[in-house]
């Protein structure tokens, strides 16, 4: 089941005397915060914070929330994780939230062989790189490119891949004997 509220950053400090806060964004698109109206202080959406304005400064997002009008009020938000409603995150076809991908089972698209679980995603500059933890505890890397990733089924928690020849170091596995 996919989370409705996604942790998307952390308030790390205040800015100025009017209650503005500095948000460390956990997204590859910090400008996302310029186009939404509400963030949340909890993963259930019960503590909404209406955004009055947001802007970038030195790699951080400066946010002014409605009702947070003093440095003391802003200080109370320090070190709080901020959540965003899933519906407020614009995703193109074939784009996924990393949180949704983590834990998915990686399966061979051709023979159904299970390789392991997706434990991390990093960006290499050319594409995302999937970190797959195999049953033996080893971690193998797989580029998340169209030629390799055949299907992503978030509801079924499965990613079907067609690894390029030689992609995985499978030495020591029974299939290599």
What ranges do the domains of the chain cover? 5-88, 98-167
pLDDT tier for residue 175 given thresholds of 50, 70 and 90:
very low
Query: What CATH code is assigned to 98-167?
Result: 2.30.30.240
The pLDDT tens digits of the residues spanning 130-155 come to 999 999 999 999 999 999 999 999 99
pLDDT attached to residue 126: 84
How confident is the model at residue 32, as a pLDDT?
86
Residues 6 or more apart whose Cβ sits within 8 Å of residue 137? none
Q: What is the pLDDT of residues 25-74, one digit of tens each?
A: 988 788 888 989 999 999 999 999 999 999 999 889 999 999 999 999 99
State how far the alpha carbon of 1 is from the alpha carbons of 50, 86, 118, in Å.
Answer: 27, 13, 16
* The CATH number of the domain covering residues in 5-88: 2.40.30.60
Q: Is a pLDDT exceeding 60 seen at residue 177? A: no
């Amino acid at each position: 089941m996919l989370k409705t509220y996604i942790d998307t950053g952390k308030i790390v400090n205040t800015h100025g005397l009017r209650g503005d806060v500095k948000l460390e964004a956990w997204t590859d698109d910090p400008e996302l915060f310029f186009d939404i109206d509400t963030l949340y202080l909890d993963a259930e959406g019960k503590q909404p914070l209406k955004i009055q304005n947001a802007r970038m400064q030195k790699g951080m997002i400066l946010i002014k929330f409605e009702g947070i009008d003093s440095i003391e009020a802003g200080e109370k938000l320090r070190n709080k994780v901020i959540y965003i409603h899933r519906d407020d995150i614009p995703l193109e076809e074939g784009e996924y939230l990393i949180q949704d991908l983590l834990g998915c089972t990686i399966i061979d698209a051709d023979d159904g062989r299970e390789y392991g679980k997706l434990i991390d995603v990093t960006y290499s500059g050319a594409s995302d790189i999937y970190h797959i933890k195999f049953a033996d505890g080893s971690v193998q890397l797989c580029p998340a490119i169209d030629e390799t990733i055949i299907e992503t089924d978030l509801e079924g928690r499965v990613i079907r891949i067609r690894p390029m020849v030689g992609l995985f170091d499978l030495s020591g596995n029974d299939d290599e004997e």
